[in-house]
Chain A
Amino acid sequence: MNSTNPQYKPQALLLLGCPEIAMQTSLALFTLDLLVTDGVNTLIAGNNAALELVRTADPKGYYVKDMLDLDTAIADLAEKRMDPDICYVFIHNDAGISYLATVNALIRTQAMGIIFGPEAKTLAQQCTDLQLKNIWARAIHNPRPLKVKITKEIEHWAALKR
């Protein structure tokens, strides 16, 4: 983030995990809306199925302006072609933790895990043990508990970047 440049718009990356749990797409669009409303350029990355779910939810691209293949996003982060001010990684399985740890190691700032699904508590504890920042709720069908936490997290991050 370059807060000394008045023209600078913060960049956020939303990294989607396996789309098996339907809530992920809704949470990603909700998070994206909060960030875009706050003036943050937001990019969504995921595998083909995860991005297709996003396209299906927002067919005319009212919300989602930029999407990127997951492997390309990791390559861009690893080779420093991209260095977002914040990266939110959506997690509901062990692979998600690996992606969070990787992104956290690759970006200048810290990445944050958004953890949901039946194993959320266990996964969150594993992230915390690895000193990976996260918010979590054992949400499977109803996203409300995580919506509240995501809203608070983004308000907090937005306040820090001002």
Chain B
Amino acid sequence: MGCIEEITYEILLSKVTFKKCSAFIRSNFNEVYIIPPGYRMFNVFIIGVPPIYVGISGDNITFPYTKPCHGTFVMKTQSQEEVKKVQKTGKPVM
């Protein structure tokens, strides 16, 4: 089990509700996938209310990250490996 601090990321939304994060990802990316709760990404397990949306833009991946005391963040990072994994295992949103 890893820590999100092990990766370099940009925070696009901070300390908001999960619903707001979902709406943000859904409406700001052309390439969106649904992943299941507990999906392993960067050695962390994604927490959320299904459907959990992940946005892809080139090698960038944007996803929700929830902390018990601070709510949910939308985080963006670069990882060709994780992009490929989500494209392969996630459910594409048309």
- In the assembled complex, the Cα of A20 lies from the Cα of B68 at a distance in Å of 10
Chain B residues, CB < 8 A from A71: 1, 3, 44-45
Interface of A is mostly: helix
Chain A contacts for B39, CB-based, 8 A: 78
Chain B nearest CB from A23 CB (Å) reads: 15
Contact check, B69 vs A47: say whether CB atoms are below 8 A apart. yes
Q: Which of B30-48 contact A (CB under 8 A)?
A: 36-40, 44-45, 47-48
Given A98-B47, A99-B47, also A105-B38 (CB < 8 A): yes
Please count how many residues in chain A sit with their CB below 8 Å of the partner chain's CB atoms.
28
CB of A102 within 8 A of CB of B47, answer yes
Q: Show the binding face of B for A, using Cβ within 8 Å.
A: 1, 3, 17-19, 36-40, 44-45, 47-50, 66-72
Chain A residues proximal to chain B, CB less than 8 Å = 16-20, 46-47, 49-50, 70-72, 74-75, 77-78, 93-99, 101-102, 105-106, 130
